[in-house]
Amino acid sequence: MKMKALVTILLLVIFIPGIWGCSTEQPVDVAAVTSKPKTFVGSDTCKMCHLEHYDSWKMTMHSRMLQDAKKNEDAIIVPIDEKRIRADLAKLGEKLKVPAEQIYVPKKEEILYTIGSQWKQRYLVKKNDTLYISPIQYNSETDRWVNYHEHDWDKRPWALKCGGCHATGVKIDTQTFIEPGVGCEACHG
């Protein structure tokens, strides 16, 4: 009987402080947490534990917001036909800040990424090692080409102006990103 009481007391001495310690909340040092550099692993890593959410996300436009035009033949939703593009631009007349015949129209092979695929589509091209949105945009609803910052497109670096919303893990200083499109970590860190 003494042995049973001794074991019970010993267990209480060991477990009560442990349980007591578990209930004590430690204050979170928000400044320390937020000062750490962000690291991104990409949605494919999230998929390992969150397959159902990943599969659902993959079916959304978020996953296709920015597509690699070199890796995905279907990324460009309409042929890049310079003659047709210029004809559509010419119809805009005085709305243009640059004459239609002077607006830069990229060749298909110059397009590195597409932005959007449902209602409108824009195209990322590289100039002097910097990504820019070309000054043309295709509108699906009207089946027409329109202008997009045709007068200053090459003074608006994509990473600085648009990258943070259209890609995940954008680094402005290096013009790089972890994942094209709005990946899991864009919202869920």
- DSSP-H helix ranges across the chain: 2-23, 30-35, 43-47, 51-58, 82-90, 158, 164-166, 184-188
Rounded average pLDDT over 171-182: 86
Query: Is the pLDDT reported for residue 140 higher than 80?
Result: yes
CA distance 65 to 117: 7
Higher model confidence: residue 109 or residue 5?
Answer: 109
Let me know if residue 35 belongs to a domain. no
User: Domain span at residue 175?
Assistant: 64-189
CA atoms within a 13 Å half-sphere pointing along the CA-CB vector of 2: 0
Let me know if residue 27 belongs to a domain. no
Let me know if residue 53 belongs to a domain. no
Let me know if residue 50 belongs to a domain. no
Let me know if residue 6 belongs to a domain. no
Q: What percent of the chain has pLDDT over 90?
A: 48
Predicted structure pTM score: 0.75
Let me know if residue 8 belongs to a domain. no
pLDDT, residue 179, reads: 86
CA distance 142 to 145: 9
pLDDT, residue 23, reads: 44
pLDDT, residue 161, reads: 86
Q: Which of 91-100, 123-132, 164-173 has the lowest mean pLDDT?
A: 164-173
Using DSSP's 3-state secondary structure scheme, residue 167 falls into: strand
